Amino acid sequence: MAQINRINHVAIIVDDMEKSLNFWRDALGLTLHELRDVPAEKSQIAFLPLDGAEIELVRPTSDDSGLAKYLAKRGPGMHHVCLEVDDIDSMLARLKEKAIHLINEEPRTAADGKRYAFIHPESTGGVLVELYQL
């Protein structure tokens, strides 16, 4: 049976990357590992690693993206929690059996090879949850 291994990251949606980095990097002292443009998701992501997890600051780079619509509707703040799983296919099958509303019925593959899928907040008590398989 598929298992959750750990929290992989917490994603925070931002409208101003430098202002956000002024807090997370400069005020808190977290190290900025990478600032990456992700054209496929129309976003820019700042990766700030912690012991065994990351804070990811996510900024939409296009007004027509899903992230931009999310930001316009809800404003900056917590976007999602990402849970690392050992078998994403089995986990998605189990969630489907339990009638959990999935945004992604099948896993997607990121440029770095990670497989991921999102669970709709209506099934999680209002939190967008991402599943990752490394």
pLDDT tens, residue by residue, 12-52:
999 999 999 999 999 999 999 999 999 988 999 999 999 99
Q: Between the CA of residue 44 and those of 12, 30, 32, 98, 102, what are the distances in Å?
A: 12, 18, 13, 34, 24
Task: Give the model's pLDDT for residue 114.
Answer: 92
Domains, the chain, ordered by start: 4-133 (3.10.180.10)
pLDDT for the residue 40:
87
What is the value of pTM for the model shown?
0.92
Q: CA-CA distance, 94 to 16, in Å (whole number)? A: 38
Give dist(CA 102, CA 31) in Å, integer: 33
